[in-house]
Amino acid sequence: MDYEEQLALAPCDLVYTRPTRYDGSGFSVQLSHFAPADLDLLTRVYRVMRRAHGLWLHLRDATRTGAPLPIDLLRRHILRELRDRSFLLLLRELGAATYALGTPGPGVRGALHDIRGGALLALIGFAAAEARGESISDGEIRHAALRARDHARIMRHAVSDLDPQLREIDAEIKTHTILDFVDKWDSSIYRAGERMVAVSAEVNYDGMVANHDLETGAIDRVLCTHINNAARYTADDRVSITALPINDQLIRWVVENRIGSEQSQRLREATGGDLGELYRGGATRGGHSIGLAQCAEIVAVACGLDSPDEAVYRGYIGSIVSDHRYTGWFHWPIFRRPVAQR
């Protein structure tokens, strides 16, 4: 899809109506909402994420200025816990104990969806490939460290008291440019099972898009849901991400992948031909059918809309299938630093 087609996906006169910028809060639950067995798993997964990224930071800081990173050390250790078969089997059970007590509320379902997915799916793909004896490139090791960082932040966003100190810091720092998002996905490999999906990212904007890390966690939850879906269903092992400004208020994020005729038929049957149903939950197969529905909720709040239905109806978030390509998009407000008063 070219630039003009991406602009035509939805109106370009969409407006940002919030009186104050979305600070990244909400869409979080407390640890007390989970069964004890899931609490143990949540904290274990979080610690693994923190250790993986911490190892990257430790070796980066310990390396002499200008010297190359000791990639062999990173390769040996950064995925060690994640490639452990017993740990991978435990991950499959994450959420089961909580669901066994009865269907939890939407907040818990949304948190579990993003904790089981988020950046973790791509990270597990690296670890599983290494466990099979496949070669992991230096670039993939770097991306693995970034995925671990991102998923720890997603987990802090989803569970408010998982790491209260760092969540408090997330709410205070730091601004992120669009390039921070594009850099971590462009020319990366997403390993989906035994497939290697090539991810490309293009940006037509070089400004800021998030005020604090907590807001970045919210964007990552929306973006990762779209990327995970695209990588799962791509018919040619390619996924593209584009970010472009549609006016002076909003950025449009576009995630595309080619799909086969079978998947196209499934989508038509599941939605009755109205892809807007994907954002209301219950339309897709597998999981708990709330991933895109939660995306619509987050986008609606961030853009100042009354409801996720309004976000879908007005085109703030949506998807189409055209020429065997699935295209999903969502909008997020541009961030500009307040001008200091003299």
Q: Please, what is the average pLDDT of the chain?
A: 90
Cis peptide leading into 184, omega within 30 of 0?
no
Let me know: does 250 contact 219? Beta carbons within 8 Å: no
Helix 106-116, helix 213-233: angle, nearest 10? 70
The full DSSP string for 107-147 is: HHHHHHHHHHSTTHHHHHHHHHHHHTT----HHHHHHHHHH
Mean pLDDT of 170-189: 88
The C-alpha atoms of residue 219 and residue 184 are separated, in whole angstroms, by 14
Mean pLDDT of 98-121: 94
pLDDT for 69 equals 79
The pTM (predicted TM-score) of the whole model is 0.93
The structure tokens listed for 283 are: 């339309």
The C-alpha atoms of residue 158 and residue 27 are separated, in whole angstroms, by 6
Q: What percent of the chain has pLDDT over 90?
A: 68
Let me know: does 22 contact 333? Beta carbons within 8 Å: yes
Let me know: does 277 contact 291? Beta carbons within 8 Å: no
- pLDDT band for position 68 (cuts 50, 70, 90): confident
Let me know: does 281 contact 293? Beta carbons within 8 Å: yes
- Hey, what CATH topology would domain 1-25+176-207+229-342 get? Heat Shock Protein 90 (3.30.565)
pLDDT for 130 equals 87
Of 149-163, 199-213, 231-245, where does mean pLDDT reach its minimum?
A: 199-213
Which residues, including other chains, have CB under 8 Å from residue 148's CB and lie 6 or more apart?
48, 49, 50, 52, 53, 56, 78, 119, 123
Residue 105 is given by DSSP the state P
Mean pLDDT of 136-154: 92
Residue-wise pLDDT for 17-52, tens only, equals 899 999 999 999 999 999 999 999 999 999 999 999
Residue-wise pLDDT for 202-232, tens only, equals 988 888 999 999 999 999 999 999 999 999 9
- Sequence-ordered alpha helix ranges (H) in the chain: 3-7, 36-62, 71-77, 85-92, 96-100, 106-116, 120-131, 138-158, 164-170, 178-185, 213-233, 261-271, 291-303, 308-314
Of 208-222, 301-315, 326-340, where does mean pLDDT reach its minimum?
A: 326-340
Mean pLDDT of 140-159: 94
Of 68-77, 89-98, 200-209, 225-234, where does mean pLDDT reach its minimum?
A: 68-77
Q: Which phi-psi region, left, alpha or beta, contains residue 102 (left: φ > 0; alpha: ψ -120 to 50)?
A: left
Q: Structural domain boundaries of the chain?
A: 1-25+176-207+229-342, 27-170
The C-alpha atoms of residue 182 and residue 220 are separated, in whole angstroms, by 12
Could you give the 3-state DSSP secondary structure of residue 191? Answer: strand
pLDDT for 289 equals 56
The C-alpha atoms of residue 319 and residue 279 are separated, in whole angstroms, by 9
Of 42-51, 75-84, 213-222, 249-258, where does mean pLDDT reach its minimum?
A: 75-84
